[in-house]
Amino acid sequence: MIIDGEFRVNAPIERTWDFLTNIQEIASCVPSFEKVEVQDDKNFAITVSQKVGPFSATFETQTSFTEIIPPSRLVAFGKGKDTLMGSSFELTNEMDLVAISGKETLVKYKADVKISGRIASVGQSLIKIVAKREVANVVKLIQDKIGG
Amino acid sequence: MKRELELKVNGEDYTLEVEPHRTLLEVVRNDLGLTGTKLGCGGGECGACTVILDGKAVKSCLMLALDAKGKELWTIEGLAKGGDLHPLQRAFVQQGAIQCGFCTPGMIMASKALLDENPRPTEQDIKDALAGNLCRCTGYVKILDAVSTVASEERKR
Amino acid sequence: MRRFELLEPNSVEEACRLLSKHGQGARVLAGGTALVKLMKKRLIHPSYLVNIKGIKELHFIREDKDALKIGALTPLREIETSPFVRDRFRVVTEMVHTIGSVQIRNVGTLTGNLCFADPASDPAPLLIALEAQLKIVGPGGARVLSLENFFTDFYETTLSADEIVEEIQIPFLPKGSGVTYLKHTMRVAFDLAIVGVAVRLDLNLKDGVCKDSRIVLGGVASTPVHTKKAEGILKGKVIDDSRIAEAARAASLEVDPIHDVRASSEYRREMTEVFVERGLKQALERAKGG
Amino acid sequence: MVEEYSVIGKSQPRIDAMEKATGTAKYLGDLKIPGMLFGKILRSPYAHAKILKVDTSRAERLRGVRGVVTGRDTKGMRLCVIPHLANKPPLAEDRVRFIGDEIAGVAADSEEIAEEALDLIEVEYEELPGVFDSFEALKPGAVKIHEEGNVAIHISRNYGDVEKAFRESDHIFEDRFETQAQLHCCLEPHGSIVHLDQSGNLTVWITTQIPHPYRKMVADVLGMPLNKVRVIKVYMGGGFGGRFEMDPIEIISYFLSKKTGRPIRIINTQDEQFTTGRTRYPMVIDIKTGVKKDGTILARDVKVVTDNGAYNSHGITITMGVGTKCTYLWSVPNMRYQADVVFTNKVYGGAFRGYGNPQITFAIESQMDMIAEKLGMDAKDLCLKNANYEGQSTCMGHKVTSCGLKDCIEKVVEAIGWKEKRRKPENRGVGIASVMHTGGGVRLLFGDCNLSDVFIKMNNDGTIDLASGMAELGQGSDTALAQIAAEELGLRVEDVNVITGDTSTTPQCLGAWGSREIFIAGNATKMAAEEIKRKLIEEASKILEARVDDLVARDRKIYVRGNPEKSVPITQIATIWYNRGNILAGRGCYDDPTTYIPDSKTGYGGVPTYAFGTHAVEVEVDRNTGRVKVLNFIAAHDLGKVINPMLAEGQIEGSALQGLGYALSEGLIWEEGIVLNPNFQDYRIFYINDVPPMKSIMVESVDPDGPYGAKGLGEPGLVPTAGAIANAIYDAVGVRIKSLPITSEKILRAIKEKE
């Protein structure tokens, strides 16, 4: 499932880059990141947890920045499993930053989310709706945080 | 942890020891050995597991066994007495309402619950009562005929 | 299904206490038709089930001064076959009849259906149109909540983990009120709604003017959708076919329908228009008929 | 006048009905074999991936787990109903090719423990891009699913001169039709109990339609002699073609049994069945037809792309069969056929009632309706004009031995009220479609034979035991065989004990498929019974002092024709034989003599018999929602002499409803290889409330080679339904839907586009 789009932030490109590459900053904008453990500046152990009504899944992921071209391109890849739900999760997120002006930056993103196993076979439509909504939510939080 | 489950099955008293996560279907089939009640989809969609609990048709695959505590359970095995078929069983046999037979016990139990409650159902009543039972073989035509026959015999009486 | 501990309280207070003690790990077991299915499919794994079936006083259908009250443990089938419900709320009888199959309705409860908060629930939109309320009990006592404010998201409600819905209250309809529930499905029976439309029209019988109306949609979004703009088109007006068409159109534009394996978003929007229109016509007739 | 037959042609209840009605019939899941363990299978969550590592150590340590097997145990093995096409590993070795592909098997003390163990198996995957569409898979540079490429086979056939015929045609029609993956939806999912005992004897309790060929497959795959393999078919909850091959389950169970020394039971959950069971092959069919102004068909050119799924099963033979089928429905003098069978990363298809015919017939019959409209002809007249007939020789070489097609057409149009209802407004419409199908199976799948062997032994009280390798799966073959034996021997059905399903106690038979049960096993039964009858009559002629030719067997007696008083009870003769120490037995082996292994170039191998049928339906379409309501359903079938009208009707009614599902609502829905509707909630087969009024009409065009003139009926009943529905919808609202299922949404979209 591909979720893509773009958004503007009220900050110069360097500041935006610093924000987006700081995992703790990002984590504060992603409600489903339950726990982040920094292994080094590129590798993280992130616990991703999502709940919809009585359904919940918690993926212990290993996440890395796989491509870093400051201040314009960042690719992250994460992968994890939820044993209880017999399901796994994979995410590739590409971000491209373009300076619109000295004060404004355009962020283009393309997230490829793959969820497989038991949850996928019963809730594919729901997963899609929820994932899109979550992304919109994250974007808003990022905008607020950097801008504010 | 096992709990005690007292219930009446096909007219006889039983006391069983059952774990809370067991479904009624599992207990009927495995603990009581009444394998006439079938596991079809396991999700309440096919009706092959239909039994009658306190006079009501229920899907035993979606019910915890302990919920049958103190109740009266009837399964397909309880219908024929000494080789004497229940009128529904006779009609299903005589009228070709059975092919592979996997849905048959559930169909008969759902029909029985209907006739026990409403001995003179209309055709629509019958369809409504069987709306939760799948049959992949017969196209339902002869099943509907069989239940209608029993109902109309009742009407004549 | 994974093992769990079965708790069997004898009173609502005890049930709340148990729920409060075990928090997210516990779930209420009433009819269980939805819950057991999800547990068997290993999609949810509660550690405790609080079986409230032992609380006999939650099993009732009764008439109050101005509302019909249905207890949390009353099976759907009992509601469907209750002559009393049929007399006062034919539309509820009709709606309940379309849920699942007899075997499911013999076990499943109306309250359970609402608490599960399936977006395709049939009772939810109708009961919102009927302005139903829930009596909710928790450790801090009881509260009464309009059903309209109950649903928050797919399978989510405002009910907190230690609360129990004790009863559903459906206020009696004024004279000149017509209510209908239409459900579009692919199969005749035992099918979930692609769109479920509850429509209510309250007419002033003297001049035929619409005093109030409610149009609530199920199956189209994460929660039931109350289309207030469409209602605005009807309020204070004499209802005729063109007004109905206009309202139906407005209702279909008021939703942002979901897309899933049952239907596309576009088809859901189209069906919303068709069924709101049909529903309004039927409700109008019912309202005029008393 | 005495009726010609005393048992045949009568509506006799099934001989297993009592057991089934009382809940005493034992199905696979009802069996408890001492020491039995319960198995579960770990399946791939990825549609296409390399397997880097499988670590089962944690699962093996779980309390109650008795054995775990992986691809290492089954290394090198490949399965397929047609051995030289085998490419399905029972357990994945280094790659998985669809979501649900088998990776490991676990045997434990309970299903619960086995399931828990699955979560403890660690598999490392490297995901590969997947291909989910057959046309994508055909593109150069597409991801390769198998090393040899994505095309399992390309088929090309030519009969007559198609190009010349198109030049001579007044009109040419070109259309594309698409069909979906329908599921058998047997109420009882597939499974088996497998036990390899300490002396090396293998017993397999299984839901199979083909006990004897199945036994051979198992023996071949495992390298065992046949006498060490016993296959016991138990009562089973439906087949419909879905149990017409070996499943990895059984081989996995074999290795688990070998490891543990215990019987292993693995039964799919219905979820597993929905996501990993066989399906009807989805096809994209391009069909080009040339006709004269008067409606005479001159040529047909068909191109098919079959979505084979991830592995080979019946895909190639079914697609070949489609090539045959499109040569013979209606008289088509020139014909060209090209097809590709293509691998994709989805669950693989298999045999399903009709064996390709529902797909191609939907295309042919939809287009026939379009041709009639364009020519300004009544569709019924176009059909009658081109109808097959007895004695016809088709472009491929089929000789039509008997044909009741015209009769079927005329009867259904009469019954549906064609004249009054066709081309009338008001959103109601009528449509017809026909089928030509073969009966009696073919000579192809299991060696150079198409046979069934039957033994009958008469007991000293005159009752009989009948042993046949045929498989009863609900269709009623046991009852039909009993009726045939009883008819021949002058007995009653209750005098017959039918023994089928166990390879240790029954003789060779290729099983229940291809509408072959009555034609082949019925003939064999008749032959076996005749042998006993001969012996009875010889003996009776001595007692009655009558000529052998004057004696008949009826009412449990042998008597002089026209003089029933002069008789001797069969039980008396049986006793005499036994007192002499002789066994009163008969054997009949019918190996259909008319067919041969299909010619590799033409594909022609002959057919034992031809069955025909026509469906007429009346529908009402809601213009605002696209919802179709079927108001009336008439199905006429030419099945030859009817052995049991009640059971035959049951076959027609049941398949008609499957046909309606195929037309209107059924079909797997995938996204990136994930099945989105793996349950009866969202995969919609019909419930009782959806059933329209149905009427079956039986046309009995007697086949000279069939037992009493019977042909076959198992499959034809669902073949024409989708075409009839599509045509009726067009008649009702003027939109032509060319892809199945014809959902409300498709109809509404088409209506809106038209407006």
The answer to whether the Cβ–Cβ distance between D45 and A117 falls below 8 Å is yes
pLDDT number for residue C173? 95
The answer to whether the Cβ–Cβ distance between B92 and D17 falls below 8 Å is yes
Question: D99: which chain A residues are within 8 Å (Cβ-Cβ)?
Answer: 116, 121
Name the residue among A147, A146, A136, A148 with its Cα closest to residue A25.
A146
Distance CA(D695)–CA(D548), nearest Å, equals 45
Give yes or no for a contact between C263 and C255, defined as CB atoms under 8 angstroms apart. Answer: no
How much is the ipTM here?
0.96
- Mutual orientation of helices B87-94 and B141-156 as an angle, nearest 10°? 130
DSSP secondary structure string, D611-669? EEEEEEEEEEE-TTT--EEEEEEEEEEE-BS-S-HHHHHHHHHHHHHHHHHHHHT----
Q: Are residues C196 and C284 in the same domain?
A: yes
Give yes or no for a contact between C237 and C212, defined as CB atoms under 8 angstroms apart. Answer: no
How do residues D653-686 score in pLDDT, each as one tens digit?
A: 999 999 999 999 999 999 889 999 999 999 999 9
For residue D559, give both structure tokens: 């008597």
C261 closest CB neighbour out of D665, D676, D690: D676
HSE, CB side, 13 Å, CA atoms: give it for residue D98. 27
Distance CA(D587)–CA(D572), nearest Å, equals 22
Number of inter-chain CB pairs under 8 A, C vs D: 41
**Residue D687 contacts C where some CB pair is shorter than 8 Å:** yes
Specify the 3-state DSSP secondary structure of A105.
Answer: strand
Subunit partners of chain C (3 or more CB pairs within 8 A): A, B, D
Q: Which residue has 């049960």 as its token pair?
A: D517
Answer whether residue D370 shows pLDDT above 50: yes
The CATH topology of domain D283-443+598-754 is Aldehyde Oxidoreductase; domain 4 (3.30.365)
Residue type, D233: K
**Radius of gyration, alpha carbons of chain B:** 15
Residue of chain C with shortest Cα separation from A124 = C260
The answer to whether the Cβ–Cβ distance between B35 and D681 falls below 8 Å is no
Give yes or no for a contact between A82 and A58, defined as CB atoms under 8 angstroms apart. Answer: yes
Answer whether residue D88 shows pLDDT above 50: yes
pLDDT number for residue B35? 98
Strands (E), D14-48: 37-43
Q: Are residues C183 and C268 in the same domain?
A: yes
> Is it true that D31-128+188-237+243-276 and D451-591 share their CATH fold?
no
Q: Which residue has 């007044």 as its token pair?
A: D170
The secondary structure of D343-397, three-state, reads: ECCCCCCCCCCCCCHHHHHHHHHHHHHHHHHHHCCCHHHHHHHHCCCCCCECCCC
Residue D744 C-alpha, separation from nearest chain C C-alpha, in angstroms: 8
**Residue A119 contacts C where some CB pair is shorter than 8 Å:** yes
pLDDT number for residue A115? 87
User: Which residues 121-160 of C have a C-beta within 8 angstroms of A?
Assistant: 153-156
CATH of the domain at C42: 3.30.43.10
DSSP secondary structure string, D395-463? TT--B-----HHHHHHHHHHHHTHHHHTT-STTEEEEEEEEEEEES--SSTTSS--EEEEEEEE-TTS-
Answer whether residue A97 shows pLDDT above 60: yes
Subunit partners of chain A (3 or more CB pairs within 8 A): C, D
Domain ranges across chain D: 31-128+188-237+243-276, 283-443+598-754, 451-591
Structural domain harbouring C138: 60-171
Tell me the CA distances in angstroms from D653 to A94, D247, D634, D663, one per residue in order: 56, 29, 10, 15
Tell me the pairing of strands C195-203 and C177-184.
antiparallel
Residue B59 C-alpha, separation from nearest chain C C-alpha, in angstroms: 6
Question: D22: which chain B residues are within 8 Å (Cβ-Cβ)?
Answer: 36, 76-77, 79-80, 85, 89
Q: How confident is the model at residue D1 (pLDDT cuts 50, 70, 90)?
A: very low
Distance CA(D196)–CA(D199), nearest Å, equals 8
User: Which residues 111-130 of D have a C-beta within 8 angstroms of C?
Assistant: 112, 115
Contacts of D698 (CB under 8 A, 6+ apart): D636, D637, D639, D642, D645, D648, D649
In CATH, the number for domain D31-128+188-237+243-276 is 3.90.1170.50
Distance CA(D66)–CA(D111), nearest Å, equals 12
How do residues D560-595 score in pLDDT, each as one tens digit?
A: 998 989 999 999 999 999 999 989 999 999 999 988
- The mean of the pLDDT values for chain D is 96
- Mutual orientation of helices D721-733 and D357-375 as an angle, nearest 10°? 30
The answer to whether the Cβ–Cβ distance between C42 and A55 falls below 8 Å is no
For residue C257, give both structure tokens: 């329908």
Give yes or no for a contact between C40 and B23, defined as CB atoms under 8 angstroms apart. Answer: yes
**Residue D45 contacts A where some CB pair is shorter than 8 Å:** yes
- C-alpha angle D685-D690-D693 in degrees, rounded to nearest 5: 125
CB neighbours of residue C161 within 10 Å: 14
The answer to whether the Cβ–Cβ distance between D687 and C274 falls below 8 Å is no
Distance CA(D284)–CA(D303), nearest Å, equals 8
Name the residue among B85, C190, B92 with its Cα closest to residue D650.
B92
The answer to whether the Cβ–Cβ distance between D625 and C187 falls below 8 Å is no
C106 closest CB neighbour out of B21, B45, B57: B57
Distance CA(B96)–CA(B108), nearest Å, equals 13
For residue C84, give both structure tokens: 């009393």
- Chosen from B141, B142, B144, B145 to mutate, greatest number of chain D CBs within 10 A: B141
Which domains occur in chain A, in start order?
2-147 (3.30.530.20)
How do residues D521-550 score in pLDDT, each as one tens digit?
A: 999 999 999 999 999 999 999 999 999 999
Distance CA(D27)–CA(D24), nearest Å, equals 9
CB neighbours of residue B70 within 10 Å: 9
Residues D219-247 as b or e (16 or more Cβ within 10 Å = b): bebbebeeebbbbbbbbbbbbbbbbbbbb
List per-residue pLDDT tens for chain C, 290 residues long.
Answer: 889 999 999 999 999 999 999 988 999 999 999 999 999 998 999 999 999 999 999 999 999 999 999 999 999 999 999 999 999 999 999 999 999 999 999 999 999 999 999 999 999 999 999 999 999 999 989 999 999 999 999 999 999 999 999 999 999 999 999 999 999 999 998 899 999 999 999 999 899 999 999 999 999 999 999 999 999 999 999 999 999 999 999 999 999 999 988 999 999 999 999 999 999 999 999 999 85
Name the residue among B26, B43, B64, B41 with its Cα closest to residue B136.
B41
pLDDT number for residue A123? 77
Number of helices (H) and strands (E), helices first, in chain B? 5, 5
pLDDT number for residue D755? 87
How do residues D676-721 score in pLDDT, each as one tens digit?
A: 999 999 999 999 999 999 999 999 999 999 999 999 999 999 999 9
The answer to whether the Cβ–Cβ distance between D650 and B143 falls below 8 Å is no
B to A contact (≥3 Cβ pairs closer than 8 Å) = no
The CATH topology of domain D451-591 is Aldehyde Oxidoreductase; domain 4 (3.30.365)
Tell me the CA distances in angstroms from D181 to D184, D266, D308, D662, one per residue in order: 10, 25, 10, 9
Tell me the pairing of strands D202-206 and D191-196.
antiparallel
Q: Name the more confident of A102 and D631.
A: D631
B47 closest CB neighbour out of C5, C53, C101: C101
How do residues D307-354 score in pLDDT, each as one tens digit?
A: 999 999 999 999 999 999 999 999 999 999 999 999 999 999 999 999
Q: Are residues C102 and C185 in the same domain?
A: no
The answer to whether the Cβ–Cβ distance between B43 and C41 falls below 8 Å is yes
Which domains occur in chain B, in start order?
3-78 (3.10.20.30), 87-156 (1.10.150.120)
Say whether the peptide bond before residue C119 is cis (omega within 30 degrees of 0): no
- Chosen from A50, A125, A127, A132 to mutate, greatest number of chain C CBs within 10 A: A125
Average pLDDT over residues B22-43: 97
The answer to whether the Cβ–Cβ distance between B134 and D680 falls below 8 Å is yes
**Residue A125 contacts D where some CB pair is shorter than 8 Å:** yes
Residues D433-443 as b or e (16 or more Cβ within 10 Å = b): bbbbbbbbbbb
Give yes or no for a contact between D510 and D441, defined as CB atoms under 8 angstroms apart. Answer: yes
The answer to whether the Cβ–Cβ distance between C42 and A118 falls below 8 Å is yes
CATH of the domain at C79: 3.30.465.10
How do residues B65-82 score in pLDDT, each as one tens digit?
A: 999 999 999 999 999 988
Residue D539 C-alpha, separation from nearest chain B C-alpha, in angstroms: 37
Distance CA(D502)–CA(B148), nearest Å, equals 38
Strands (E), D440-543: 451-458, 464-468, 496-500
Name the residue among C27, D738, D92, D27 with its Cα closest to residue B29.
D27
How do residues D30-87 score in pLDDT, each as one tens digit?
A: 999 999 999 999 999 999 999 999 999 999 999 999 999 999 999 999 999 999 999 9
CB neighbours of residue D600 within 10 Å: 6
D671 closest CB neighbour out of A86, A87, A124: A124
Name the residue among B49, D579, D674, B25 with its Cα closest to residue A119.
D674
**Radius of gyration, alpha carbons of chain D:** 27
- Chosen from D44, D672, D680, D682 to mutate, greatest number of chain A CBs within 10 A: D672
Average pLDDT over residues B28-41: 98
Q: Are residues C214 and C248 in the same domain?
A: yes
Give yes or no for a contact between D598 and D604, defined as CB atoms under 8 angstroms apart. Answer: yes
For residue A137, give both structure tokens: 């939510």
User: Which residues 50-89 of A have a C-beta within 8 angstroms of D?
Assistant: 83-84, 86-88
Contacts of D18 (CB under 8 A, 6+ apart): B85, B93
Distance CA(A20)–CA(A5), nearest Å, equals 16
User: Which residues 567-626 of D have a C-beta within 8 angstroms of C?
Assistant: 624-625
Residue D354 C-alpha, separation from nearest chain A C-alpha, in angstroms: 29
Give yes or no for a contact between D334 and D395, defined as CB atoms under 8 angstroms apart. Answer: yes
Q: How confident is the model at residue D2 (pLDDT cuts 50, 70, 90)?
A: low
Tally of domains within chain C: 3
Distance CA(D270)–CA(D261), nearest Å, equals 28
How do residues A35-52 score in pLDDT, each as one tens digit?
A: 999 999 899 999 999 888
Say whether the peptide bond before residue C46 is cis (omega within 30 degrees of 0): no
